[in-house]
Amino acid sequence: MSKILDDIEDVRLRLGLTQLAVARPLGITQPHYSKVVGRAAALPDDLAQRMAQWTKDQAFETPAKSGDREMLELTRSIERQSKRLATLLAAQGRAPTKRRVARTRSR
C-alpha cells in the first residue's frame, strides 16, 4: 500500500497538480487525500485500487510548463493573502473595499 501512496504523489508532483485535482476524480476530499498520503488515515482497498488506476491513467500525461506552475503558485499565494487580509479586516470590524480594476485602452 505504501508504494501506491508514493507513486500517486510522485505522479501528482511531476504533473504539477494540486491535491484537490487528484482527490476529485478519486471521489474523496482534499483533506482526506492529504491524510491518506500522509499516512494519518487508513487506505481502504477500494481507494487503493482507484489510486492505482488513476496513476496508471496518467502514464502519458506531460508535466505542466514551469511558467504555468509558477502562475498557479502565484495565484494561490494571492488568494491566501487576500483571505488573510479579509480575516484581519474583519477582526478590526472593517470590511474589505472593492476596487475597480483599471482598464487599458485598446488601440
All cell numbers assigned to 61? 500525461
Q: What is the pLDDT of residues 60-101, one digit of tens each?
A: 777 666 567 677 778 888 988 998 998 998 888 887 677 776
Domain-by-domain residue ranges, the chain? 2-57, 64-94
Residue tagged 470590524 (cell numbers):
93
Distance of alpha carbon 7 from the chain centroid: 17
What phi and psi, each to the nearest 5 degrees, are found at residue 9?
-70, -40
The architecture of the domain spanning 2-57 is Orthogonal Bundle (1.10)
Task: Give yes or no for residue 105 having a pLDDT over 80.
Answer: no
Q: What is the pLDDT of residues 9-67, one digit of tens each?
A: 999 988 888 999 999 999 999 999 999 999 999 999 999 999 999 999 988 777 666 56
